[in-house]
Structure 1
Amino acid sequence: MGEADKRPKAPDHNGADDGQAVARRVAAIDIGSNSVRLIVAQGSSPSAYRLLTDEKENVRLARGVAADRSLSRERMLQAADVVQQLVKIAEGYGADPIELVATAAVRDAPNRGMFIDMVRERTGRTVRIISGAEEGRFAHESVAHAFDLAHLNAAVVDIGGGSTEIVLSTGGVIEHIESVPLGAVRLADRFGPADLADSAGYESMTTAARDALRKVLRKPRATQHVMIGTGGTFTTLAGISIARAAIATPKARRAEPPIARSIRGYELTRADVRHTIDWLRAMTADERKHVRGLSADRAEIIVPGLVIVEEVMRSLNVNVLRVHDRGVRDGLILDALKQLFGPSPLAPEDPTEERRASVIEFGRRCNFEQAHSEHVARLALSVFDQVKAQLEALDKPVPWGTPRHRMLLEAAALLRDVGYFVTYKGHHKHSYFLIANSDLEGFDESDTRFIAAIARYHRKGLPKRKHEAVAALPRKEHRALWALGGILRMTDGLDRTQSQAVTDVSVELAPPHCIVRVQAATDPRADLWGAHRKRDMFERAFDLTVRFEWDNAKTPDRATPAEPKAQTSTAPTAAH
């Protein structure tokens, strides 16, 4: 790991305004399992702001929950009153918008509607419950603005009171997000503070954490170079470590060490985490309240939190931990500023162009081959339009032929190879996860999942119901997946050499045959061979046998290999 990778990319978001736009004040209130926090910031660009205030009130909303995760009325009333006070503070600063979000404690509570009503009655504002995946994205957004992730496989981990979000990214691009119902408060409530007198409780806690992670964490697709932690457990761990190191020197024993300005970017090993756990376990919860770097309100939950840290590092086989002093709230602020000021002053006004620009931008972040990708997209859309028109002329239903489906096919064609950003081997699967966890402008989550699925099947195995990409789609879209995936798969083969030799394509449906004629300035037989090998999904989707012809040649292309081995997937026929 180079020195440039170790250094934070920017010391803070508190940069001076550049005068390019009128500064706006925005606020985010994060209602968590352990505390309610407010930050108010002022910014005039999508990526920099000056922090005006950072307020925290401990309410332990998740403490004393019922067996079904219902929140106690007393805790909800207390939390709602705190939110009311924080909203007044934000309004006093003139913040607009003021974003109110709730995480695991409220998200998991059957009576969350009651709490939302309490807050609305007091503030006139609605709490937005964010998913674990959204939490992960906001945390990653914060980390990506603070550290240079360009050359790293990173695991960004946010540990809260009620859940832990794990985000795996390559070069700053999210590939996978997992939310685990495992938090510091939740573990402490179940097993206690884990002091030395309760060895059995500690062992049970560790086993529970390990089992919970094992259920959801698959083997990483790439080796993680570093784990970057956000949330109070990580900043407390760094504070304790810094304080212990400082106390080891005589001069530092006379004063509190300068912890706050040293936390961002502080690095520890897995062994450091283990030693800190052992050191804290030797104390009672009351003794921990006097540990430098550890606030009294966190004394009972620090060991449970560190158990999660250690077990995540173990599960991901990561030895280096880097601490970030911000997280979800910072990501919320950055997102609000992006909404206010936009990603670019040149952003297109046409929604279609905005969506396409977002796809191209994501492709560039993944170092895609733009000319090759745009060429395949053009061929795919041409085949889409021709097949759709001819099926409609035959009075065949075309449920996959809507403008939305056309748009999704184009996006998938442009992004199908972004998995190369991770590795060539299995890159179609990497493409799926990169796209599925992206934040493409103008596409909702279901659209993004569909784009990812189409891209997933541009090569190798055919769709099966047990595949995650298929299971994530509604059953009614399975036929469309086969149709669009079949078109993309075949047209991807038509530029196998990535030389754009095939300049145009015409399709003739003559059931039970489909004749695909290509025009080419140079000999396209290598590309025709590629398309012949990848015609299987199209043939199954439309119940047609495909034959390729080169318009410049006198006879149909005969240099194609034998029929590929039959696969066991069952395709819903798109032409019926």
Structure 2
Amino acid sequence: MDLAASVDIGSHSFHLLVVQVENESIRPIDKIRDPVSLAAGLDENRYLSQESISRAVDTLRRFGERIRLIPPHRVRAVGTNTLRIAKNREEFIKCAEPALGHQIDIISGHEEARLIYLGVAHCMEDDAQKRLVVDIGGGSTELILGEGFSARRVESLYIGCVSLSKAFFPDGFITPSRLRNAEIMALQELEPIANTFKKHGWQRTIGSSGTILAIQEAVLAEGWSKSGISALSLKKLRKHLLAAGSLEQLSLKGVDSDRKQVLLGGFAILSAIFESLSLEVMEVSSGALREGVIYDLLGRLYQKDIREKTVKELMNRFQVDKAQAERVRAVSCSLYEKVKKDWKIEGDFQRRMIIWASLLHEIGLFVSYSQYHKHGQYLLNHLDMPGFSLRDQQWLSLLVRCHRRKFPLSELQLLRPEDREALRKLGVLLRLAVLLNRVRSDDEIPQIDIKVNSNLIKLTFPEGWLQNHPLTTADLATEANYLIGAGFFLQYS
């Protein structure tokens, strides 16, 4: 049985989805949800409390037990807004990954939005209509315009049901002024994007996530709506919330106790979205981030990796010299294949990183030749890159930064020890590939033998080649000095 799994480490709830894969489509066979409320564990300085970390790790340990027998390459775990902003997220990751038994990718808000749209699109009938998809999470809210399976415009706002509930309803009391102030804060976040979204337009409005599902359950159960969520049903829900006066007195059919704790913030955000975008009705989908992660993972497994498309689009956008990028890719991959076993850098992730870094190493030339490796690092750190996790972008940007001049040793120290060592070695291979392609001609690339032993690198060129290429010989001497600073010793003959 071909199984795959996704783990959504959300700001309010953690979700595990296990599916059976049949002809590139999925059939869910197990779902687990735990309302960990990770965002509630953030203090005013954005540090996760030890209690919230322990609670999260306990849940991930249970998830890990369920997916222990699924091959690692068929599992993907993603962290969202709370882990994006937590200053001690590395402390969390160090505890959480061993408990889960899998790597955790922290994704950007725009990547989260793209994956949410993918999950919603796959869970609905395929049509050509333009869609607005809305997802209210614990720490952020995503809005996406798209068609078919493609997200055309994505936005991630720094408001969520947990954060807004915590800010405006800490004691659970509901007053007209509190509720309106919460809505106004959401309206302020929506203001910069509302007119642009309206200008692009859409034909269907679809909501996803636990908050929107809970509100739909409530308005359907109370008889305020016959299908989905209408503007009128929200007005009736608002009246009901104010009449209750507090969470303790609030009774709503279809809303469980843990969801009720964050309902007020979620309602305020949804109400503001209806008001800001002039919505009359919203359909609700069961598809969400966890399904999107699964379908994106299947794309990687079946050679439809969105990251390949992203790299090609960046090469076009920033006018990268494709012939030169391909020369560097060919040499760096050749060197990688020869040393990957001895240097212990085997793996699909490492192979892809050296390829993509080779293709994008000159992206900074779009800004300026001077310090272009630093411009490239900045761009790759800050661009929206569909399919890439924050760790992916960090690796890629640092490899591009490493490809010439001095190694950025202080920045490498910020990486995990195991990442630091692998990235240093890939950086050396990229540097050598760039150096050997300085002439920018297919005819000038020699057949090179490379041997490595720990930090010693030996290059052997065809007999007489170095004597006939004094510029390359001089470049290798300069490079040897740079590599000494990074702890490597280069010999060549």
TM > 0.5 between the two? yes
User: Do residues 45 (structure 1) and 23 (structure 2) align?
Assistant: yes
RMSD over aligned Cα atoms: 3.6
CA distance in 2, matches of 1:102, 1:472: 19
Q: Is the 8 A contact 2:183 2:271 kept in 1?
A: no
Q: Which has the higher contact order (CA 8 A, sep 6+)?
A: 2
User: Do residues 198 (structure 1) and 118 (structure 2) align?
Assistant: no
Could you list the per-position Cα deviations for residues 384-429 of structure 1 after superposition, in whole angstroms to 9, with x for gaps in the alignment?
A: xxxxxxxxxxxxxxx954426799xxxxxxxxxxxxxxxxxxxxxx
User: Do residues 130 (structure 1) and 92 (structure 2) align?
Assistant: no
Q: Shift in Å at residue 95 of structure 1?
A: 7.7
User: Do residues 227 (structure 1) and 205 (structure 2) align?
Assistant: yes
CA distance in 1, matches of 2:89, 2:283: 34
Residue of structure 1 in register with 2:290 after alignment: 329
Paired residues for 1:165-564 under 5 Å: 165-170=142-147, 172-192=149-169, 197-220=174-197, 221-245=199-223, 266-283=227-244, 284-288=246-250, 290-343=251-304, 401-403=321-323
Any unmatched runs of 5+ in structure 1?
1-22, 249-261, 345-350, 360-380, 382-398, 408-441, 454-467, 474-576
Residue of structure 1 in register with 2:10 after alignment: 32
Q: Is the 8 A contact 1:167 1:176 kept in 2?
A: yes
Q: Paired residue for 1:120, among 97, 114, 127?
A: 97
Give the 3 Å change call, closer, same or farther, for CA 406–278 of structure 1 in structure 2: farther
Give the 3 Å change call, closer, same or farther, for CA 332–404 of structure 1 in structure 2: farther
Q: Shift in Å at residue 235 of structure 1?
A: 0.8
Q: Is the 8 A contact 1:25 1:96 kept in 2?
A: no
* Bigger CA radius of gyration: 1
Q: Is the 8 A contact 2:72 2:102 kept in 1?
A: no
Q: Is the 8 A contact 1:153 1:170 kept in 2?
A: yes
Residue of structure 2 in register with 1:139 after alignment: 116
Residue of structure 2 in register with 1:54 after alignment: 31
Give the 3 Å change call, closer, same or farther, for CA 117–318 of structure 1 in structure 2: same
Q: Is the 8 A contact 1:277 1:303 kept in 2?
A: no
CA distance in 2, matches of 1:144, 1:278: 33
- Equivalent position SS for 2:87: coil
Q: Output the TM-score relative to the length of structure 1.
A: 0.52
Give the 3 Å change call, closer, same or farther, for CA 78–176 of structure 1 in structure 2: same
CA distance in 2, matches of 1:146, 1:123: 27
Give the 3 Å change call, closer, same or farther, for CA 214–194 of structure 1 in structure 2: farther
Residue of structure 2 in register with 1:154 after alignment: 131
CA distance in 2, matches of 1:277, 1:66: 30
Give the 3 Å change call, closer, same or farther, for CA 119–324 of structure 1 in structure 2: same
CA distance in 1, matches of 2:153, 2:309: 22
Residue of structure 2 in register with 1:519 after alignment: none
> What amino acid sits opposite 1:285 in the alignment?
L
Q: Paired residue for 2:51, among 74, 81, 85?
A: 74
> What amino acid sits opposite 2:323 in the alignment?
P
- Equivalent position SS for 1:287: coil
Count of residue correspondences: 332
Any unmatched runs of 5+ in structure 2?
328-354, 367-378, 385-493
CA distance in 2, matches of 1:268, 1:400: 47
Q: Is the 8 A contact 1:103 1:129 kept in 2?
A: yes
Could you list the per-position Cα deviations for residues 173-211 of structure 1 after superposition, in whole angstroms to 9, with x for gaps in the alignment?
A: 322111101000000010017977522221211111111
Q: Shift in Å at residue 60 of structure 1?
A: 1.2
Could you list the per-position Cα deviations for residues 210-253 of structure 1 after superposition, in whole angstroms to 9, with x for gaps in the alignment?
A: 1111145452232222221110011111211221239x9xxxxx
Q: Output the TM-score relative to the length of structure 2.
A: 0.60
Name which of structure 1's ranges 109-118 and 330-339 shifts more when overlaid on structure 2.
330-339
CA distance in 2, matches of 1:197, 1:401: 60
Q: Shift in Å at residue 68 of structure 1?
A: 2.4
Q: Shift in Å at residue 65 of structure 1?
A: 1.8
Could you list the per-position Cα deviations for residues 99-135 of structure 1 after superposition, in whole angstroms to 9, with x for gaps in the alignment?
A: 2211111111111111001113434432110111111
CA distance in 1, matches of 2:62, 2:130: 41
Q: Is the 8 A contact 1:29 1:37 kept in 2?
A: yes
Give the 3 Å change call, closer, same or farther, for CA 299–44 of structure 1 in structure 2: same
CA distance in 2, matches of 1:329, 1:235: 15
Q: Is the 8 A contact 2:16 2:32 kept in 1?
A: yes
Give the 3 Å change call, closer, same or farther, for CA 327–400 of structure 1 in structure 2: closer
